[in-house]
Every structure is written in structure tokens, then in C-alpha cells.
Structure 1
Amino acid sequence: MSKVKWLSNVKLETGERMLDNGTVETETALFHLKIENGKIVEQLRGNEKIPVGQEVIDMKQKLAVPTFKEMHNHLDKTYMTLDWKACIPVSNLKERLAFEAAELTSLSDTAQQRATKMIEALLEKGSTHIRTHVNIDPYIGLKNLEGVTAALETFKGKVTADIIAFPQHGLLRESVPSLMREAMRSGATMVGGLDPAGIDNAIEKSLFETMDIATEFNADVDIHLHDGGFVGYYTADKWIDIVEDANYKGRTALSHSFCLGDIPVPQQELVATRLAEQDVAIMSTIPINLGRIIPPIDLLDAHGVKVHFGCDGFYDSWSPYGTGDVLEKATRFCELTRKIDEKSLRNSLKWVTGGIVALNDDGQKVWPNIQDDASFVFFDAVSSAEVVARKPNNRLIMVMGELLS
């Protein structure tokens, strides 16, 4: 028997209007949404009557926006649920990896417990999809993968996930290639990589091995690329060649990709065109680092490159900070790039929703539609521009028609 309910008095964005002072204002209206088996099956205007005799949940004029997608995360690294400890300062990435390696064994027994707490933190902020990288290394083998997959299983029906086999301590060492393949047979759904130059010291060999594993398991790819300047640019450019040769268009991503912000604008435009042609996505965590240039996200977007934000790891051996609120990343990006008007703030929500927005660039309503998932984050807000700018804390999360407590 189908499960039917109505959500009454839901505020949705419906369009925009130009004010006399030349600024744009978002228009909204109230709707009643009929939900059946987790899908929207009917939309009524707020002045229309809901049929009697059916369950009704009054949303009290809260604004509905799409649920969030946390697209760069490390569920296995967090210290959440453990005693407090700050980070050990280091001078470079290899030192940080050495400190992480030293504690991997002692942390692995609590992987499920810690990952569960992190998922709860992400979900209560509105993220219903998590792309998590999970360490696959010679120190603990698949232990973190086992803990993370077990944790995610307890959130089935509430959270979907990409689980990336991630060679944090290098792909081209010891038994890691065979461990990566074992991970792909044991619950990982994507293949990861890390700095083919800076960590593996063999750009082409590392990239080809990554693609070999991916094609063997027909899996998508997401590679951490911290290497900056021309080395990073060469790596990205070479990866696009490999993607094209493997016919892997639309199936790969490069995370961080600071190198794209290091190169001159003409080169940025060239690589952006190539990224768009092969549909290689860019994942960014919008880090606060005065010495680090982030990718040229607006330029990439203008060239048709898909860009997504993520929180990365939080409260772990890498950083004591972070809340699990991916919306903060959209807000931070807008602050960094001086987006202060209604339209640019509103459009910036796409960085954390997988590209889904209520209004398109022309200000026309494009979401939600009939047969869309009844999954929302509800805010006491006037528009999604206010949501991005102010990050309201009081949120109600609905997944497939069910409100989460």
C-alpha cells in the first residue's frame, strides 16, 4: 500500500523581479506538496484546498531547498567520540602523512564508531549524500573500509554515499595496488589517487595505474591533486588525455586542484575547456590558507566544468576545526569572491547541492518537479540567498518524505 502525505505551507522560490534601484529580488510562494512513496506527485498553490482524510504536515512557511551533497570527505579520519587532542604541527605533507601513519593502527578499531558520529554531524546539517575517501594502505589494510561501510549501512535510506578507495600513503608502494583491488571487491565504489608527482614521484605511472584499476572494476575516479604550479597543471592535463583515451568521459574528478589557480589565465581557460570536454569535475574544500590559491571556480563554471564543495576531514590529525556544514563552504566562497547580491548568492547554492537550484540563471522556477525525491532542507529564511549568506542553524531535514528527528 502506497504511503501518502501532504506537506502544507511550503515556501518555494518561484521567480525574480527587478526593483526600481536595479537590484533583483527573489519571489516566493506557498505550496502544498503531495508525497507518495518518497516522491513529489502533486503540487498545489497555497490557496488551494488539500483533500480531506490524508496526513498533513504543516511546514509553517519554511523555505525548502535541495538537500546538500558533501563531495569531499574522510569519514575514517575523524577523532569524533574520542578524547580531545590538537594537531601536531608539521612543515610539509610527508611529515603529516608520517604522523598519520603512526596512529592508524590504534585508531582503526574505532573506525565505525567515529565514522557514525561524523555521518550524524553531516546529516543534521543537511547533507544526505557523502563522497568519502577511505585510507587503503599497508599499515591497516582494509580496516578503515570495513568500519566506514558498516557505519554507512546503519544510515541506509537516509544517506547515500560514494566510497573511494584512497591510497593516502602512496599508490606505487609495497602491496597497495593489490590492496586497492581488494578494496574494490570489498565495498569501495570508486578509485582514488594522491599527488602522482609529490607522493608517487611518477606522474604517468601513477595515473595509468589508477585508470587500470578503475577500468578493471568499471568504477569512477576521484584523485587528490595538491601538487601546484606547472607540475600540477601537467598532471591535470595528462589525466584528461588518459580519460579521453579510456573513454571515461563524465566519470572522473580532480579534488583540490590548487594548480589551476597557480597558472596564468590563458592556461586556465585552456585547461577548463579540456576539463569540460571530458566532463572532469573539480572538488574543492575552499580552504582558509593565505598562502594557497584555490582553483578559479567561477572561470571553470563559466566554461561548463562541474564544481562541487566538501568539508574534507574535520577534527582529525590534519585539523582540529570543522563543523560538518558544507553550506559554510558556499558562504566562504561567496565571501572570498565578494558575491554580495541576491542573484549571485542564490546561484551559489549549487556548489553544495550537486548543481540543483530552485531558479535557473534566468530566474525561472526549475525545482522541485513532479517525481522528484521529497528530500529537502527547511529553513526559516526569505530565499536561498539568505540561506547562503546567513547559514541559519535551525534546520529541518526531510529524506524521501520522512522528517528526521
Structure 2
Amino acid sequence: MTKTAPPAATPVSLITNVRVADGRHVDVAIADGRIAALGAALPRQDAVRIEDGAGALLLPGFVEGHTHLDKTNWGLPWYRNEVGARLTDRIENERHWRARSGHDAGTQSLALARAFVQMGTTRVRTHVDIDTDAGLRHLDGVLATRDTLRDVLEMQIVAFPQSGLLGRPGTAELLDRALAAGADVLGALDPALIDGDPVKSLDLSFEIAQRHGKPIDIHLHEPGEVGAFTLGLLLDRVAALGMQGQVVVSHAFCLGALPERERDALLERLAALRVALLTTAPAAVPVPPLAACREHGVTLFGGNDGIRDTWTPYGSPDMLERAMLIAMRYGLRRDDDLALAFDCVSSVAAHACGFADYGLQPGARADLVLVDADTLAHAIVARPPRRLVVSNGRVVARDGVLVDL
């Protein structure tokens, strides 16, 4: 039996009869991949292709602020996880498994990236392992995925030293090459507990980043006082080198375990230096406090981390699910509080990562998601199929089915 090919992505010029979060019924006019107008009863005569929204809820395209596309086993047979409990156990297990199995970062990152688009995500920041065994092989695969989907998925790539910067000679040189080859952001990992010398590690990371004129996104799993010490050193360098607004601290578990006075002092510095925090809202470890971050003006946004890889069986390309998990972790129940969780995977994430022209306003890139839900809170909790996904002004998914990209 001949299998019917999915329809190709097509531009749309007008979406009629949709509802925005405040309940208003509006139309959305699109031109050259951007929102040209948003309002009631927009003119139809100039529209070449019209989509009837049928009263669906209109949302902006979602933003995945922290994932690892290169690691995923999405679509592969189930990986049986028997790895040890330590961070180093997971790192070594993954390296050996990827080499032994022939895991292909290009094929796998494309599979998961397409699933993100299908579920309404149009901007992604992904960390990619830069490893002295694999060299730039994983980066090459993800660069190919970015190129394949460049018209419908805006992707930032973080060159990430999964084994740390100092422990494996040649890592710094590989990071240099990765940034020169097209990575957008320099990654780093636990300068004290993995590298063993936070001063030397941070100095080298900032030196590499500044040499290439790139921002930094550091994984900071270090707990309590150790993490606070490392965070303080990092903030010293942000201030000294004028890198305000160019650094993200991912995870930052220490901020969820410190005494309030010490925590708040760090939050004040984070806010003043415009250093953003990323949380995946894990259930089993401390997390940066959402309310205190908002009180001090610290940007806190969300992401999945790994999805179906050797580290974890969890994760999903549905950012409405991640918003729900963030809301659950922080005890958000009111509808207006659930909206804060959605901000973590939409506007706040776009701002923190530096994705431009985002949102539901004229001039923004036309990245739109239609769902059958009464309200934003309902959409987060029910996570209905995506009736329509538009990216860069093109229909890329309809009724939960990805078009031919």
C-alpha cells in the first residue's frame, strides 16, 4: 500500500477567529514571515491563504531554553538505564555507550528537533558535547540539523564540555574550534567539583568566550556552599569583564539550599549583572526559588535538560508539559500563577537566550500555536493536541501531524 506523503509547509497570510490569553477574539495577519497586524475583523481581501482558527486559543511559539539534542535516543528502542548514581558515572557511561553503539547525533537530533516543531516549539537552545574522544562529531551532526530546519526552527548551539574543561587535555582547543565552526554559546560544567580548580576553570572559560565574542551558559550542579562559592567567582568575572546580560547559569541548585540571607545577596548580584538562571524544575533536588527570583528581578526560565537519553528516561518535546512540571514543582495553582510557568517557556526564555522578535505583536516573527483550550491555564494542564503550528509564517504542523519539512 502506498504511503501518502505529508503536506509540505505552506505560508499563511491570515488566521481568523482566534482567542488571545485575555479572552479577546482576534485575527492575525502575516506578511513575509512576520505578524503584520493582530486585531478584530482584519481585512480579508489581501489574504492569499486564510486559516480559520475556529475559536482556538492562540499562543506564541514555545521556547526550549535548555536541552541536549545530540544525546537523545528519541525514536530508538528503549535504553535500559543501569548507570551509577554519581555525576561522573553518568558522564563515563554515556561516553562509552555512544562510542560503542555508534549513536548518531545528526540523525537523533533531527528526530527530536522535528518533534519539538510538531509540538509548537520554534526556538531551541541545545547543549552539544565537545569531547576529546568524539572531537566535533556531535557538533557536526547538530549543525546539520540546524541547517536542515533553519527556515522553521531557530536554534542556538552551546559548545558544552561534558567532562569539564581541565581534566582532559585538548578540551579548550576543541571548544575554540567549536565556536569557530558555528556554535553560538560557550558551555561549562561545575568548575569546583568536576574541574577541581574553579578559579583556573572560570578564567579559561571566560578567556575562550571573550576571544570569540560569545556568551556563556554554565551547568552549575554544585550544592550549597560550594556552589555559592563558585557562583560568586563567576559573578566577579562577569562584572570585571563587562559581560552583563551575556551569562546564563543552568540548574543553580545551590540557590535552593542556602540560608535566605546568603541566597538573597547572590540574587541581588545576579539581578544587577543581568545573569539569568535556567531551571528544569527537578523534583529530587533544590531549585532556585521562583518567588524570590521575581522579587529581586532575576530572570528564571525553563527547559527539559536531556530527553530520553542515557542520563534519564524522562523529558518531552512538549513545552506545555514542561510548563506544567515547573508549575507543580513551585506549587503554582492559581490561573495567574500558571501563566508565570508558561512565561518560563515562552517570553522569559526568549529574552534570556537572546531570541529576537518574539511574541504576539506586530513585527514579531510569526511563530504561532493554536490549541483547543478555554484558557492558558487549561492549555498547560490539559496539553491538548496542537491544532495548528505556524513557524516563520509557514504552517509546519496541523492537528498534531508534522508537515513535510
Q: Distance in 2 between matches of 1:77 and 1:344?
A: 33
Cα deviations by residue, 1:323-349 (Å, 9 ceiling, x for unpaired): 222222221222233221121112321
Unaligned runs of 5+ in 2: 1-10, 351-357, 397-402
* Structure 1 SS opposite 2:262: helix
Aligned residue in 1 for 2:80: 86
Of residues 154, 161, 183 in structure 2, which corresponds to 1:188?
A: 183
CA pair 206-58 structure 1, distance change in 2 beyond 3 A: same
* Structure 2 SS opposite 1:355: helix
Of residues 31, 37, 40 in structure 1, which corresponds to 2:32?
A: 37
Larger RCO, structures 1/2 (Cα 8 Å, 6+ apart)? 2
Cα deviations by residue, 1:175-196 (Å, 9 ceiling, x for unpaired): 1111111111112111000000
How many residues align structurally? 379
Q: Which amino acid aligns with 2:91?
A: L
Cα deviations by residue, 1:329-382 (Å, 9 ceiling, x for unpaired): 22122223322112111232110003289xxxxxxxx96222122211111112
Q: Does 1:382 align with 2:367?
A: no
Of residues 124, 131, 135 in structure 2, which corresponds to 1:137?
A: 131
Q: Does 1:324 align with 2:317?
A: yes
CA pair 310-52 structure 1, distance change in 2 beyond 3 A: closer
Superposition map of 1:26-175 within 5 A: 28-46=23-41, 50-51=44-45, 54-107=48-101, 110-172=104-166, 173-175=168-170
Aligned residue in 2 for 1:19: none
Of residues 284, 290, 303 in structure 2, which corresponds to 1:310?
A: 303
Aligned residue in 2 for 1:295: 288
Aligned residue in 1 for 2:389: 397
Contact between 1:121 and 1:323, CA under 8 Å: does it hold in 2? no
Instruction: Tell me by how many angstroms 1:308 deviates.
Output: 1.4
Q: Does 1:7 align with 2:15?
A: yes
CA pair 97-51 structure 1, distance change in 2 beyond 3 A: same
Contact between 1:81 and 1:113, CA under 8 Å: does it hold in 2? no
CA pair 182-383 structure 1, distance change in 2 beyond 3 A: same
Q: Distance in 1 between matches of 2:12 and 2:372?
A: 25
Q: Distance in 2 between matches of 1:335 and 1:38?
A: 35
Q: Distance in 1 between matches of 2:264 and 2:47?
A: 58
Q: Distance in 2 between matches of 1:282 and 1:356?
A: 10
Instruction: Tell me by how many angstroms 1:162 deviates.
Output: 1.2
Q: Which amino acid aligns with 1:326?
A: M
Identity within the alignment, %: 31
Q: Distance in 2 between matches of 1:306 and 1:333?
A: 15
Q: Which amino acid aligns with 1:318?
A: W
CA pair 347-322 structure 1, distance change in 2 beyond 3 A: closer
Contact between 2:281 and 2:325, CA under 8 Å: does it hold in 1? yes
Instruction: Tell me by how many angstroms 1:262 deviates.
Output: 0.9
Contact between 2:128 and 2:159, CA under 8 Å: does it hold in 1? yes
Cα deviations by residue, 1:93-147 (Å, 9 ceiling, x for unpaired): 1111121121232455621111111101222121111111111111111000001
Instruction: Tell me by how many angstroms 1:283 deviates.
Output: 0.8
TM-score, structure 1 normalization: 0.89
Aligned residue in 1 for 2:354: none
Aligned residue in 2 for 1:238: 233
CA pair 282-107 structure 1, distance change in 2 beyond 3 A: farther
Q: Distance in 2 between matches of 1:52 and 1:183?
A: 46
Q: Distance in 2 between matches of 1:377 and 1:213?
A: 38
Q: Which amino acid aligns with 1:121?
A: A
Contact between 1:276 and 1:305, CA under 8 Å: does it hold in 2? yes
Q: Does 1:336 align with 2:329?
A: yes
* Structure 1 SS opposite 2:309: coil
Q: Distance in 2 between matches of 1:329 and 1:4?
A: 28
CA pair 114-4 structure 1, distance change in 2 beyond 3 A: closer
Contact between 1:108 and 1:143, CA under 8 Å: does it hold in 2? no
Q: Distance in 1 between matches of 2:12 and 2:327?
A: 39
Q: Distance in 1 between matches of 2:322 and 2:269?
A: 26
* Structure 2 SS opposite 1:347: helix
Contact between 2:12 and 2:50, CA under 8 Å: does it hold in 1? no
Aligned residue in 1 for 2:7: none
* Structure 2 SS opposite 1:385: helix
Contact between 2:282 and 2:329, CA under 8 Å: does it hold in 1? no
Contact between 1:32 and 1:50, CA under 8 Å: does it hold in 2? no
Q: Distance in 2 between matches of 1:399 and 1:367?
A: 12
Q: Which amino acid aligns with 1:230?
A: E
Q: Distance in 2 between matches of 1:87 and 1:219?
A: 35
Contact between 2:69 and 2:306, CA under 8 Å: does it hold in 1? yes
* Structure 2 SS opposite 1:163: strand
Q: Distance in 2 between matches of 1:369 and 1:395?
A: 21
Q: Does 1:286 align with 2:281?
A: yes
* Structure 2 SS opposite 1:50: coil
Of residues 263, 273, 276 in structure 1, which corresponds to 2:268?
A: 273
Aligned residue in 2 for 1:218: 213
Q: Distance in 2 between matches of 1:307 and 1:249?
A: 16
CA pair 207-107 structure 1, distance change in 2 beyond 3 A: farther
Aligned residue in 2 for 1:18: none
Instruction: Tell me by how many angstroms 1:49 deviates.
Output: 5.4
Unaligned runs of 5+ in 1: 15-27, 358-365
Q: Which amino acid aligns with 2:18?
A: V
Q: Which amino acid aligns with 2:126?
A: T
Q: Which amino acid aligns with 2:319?
A: V
* Structure 2 SS opposite 1:324: coil
Aligned residue in 2 for 1:360: none
Q: Which amino acid aligns with 2:89?
A: E
CA pair 235-154 structure 1, distance change in 2 beyond 3 A: same
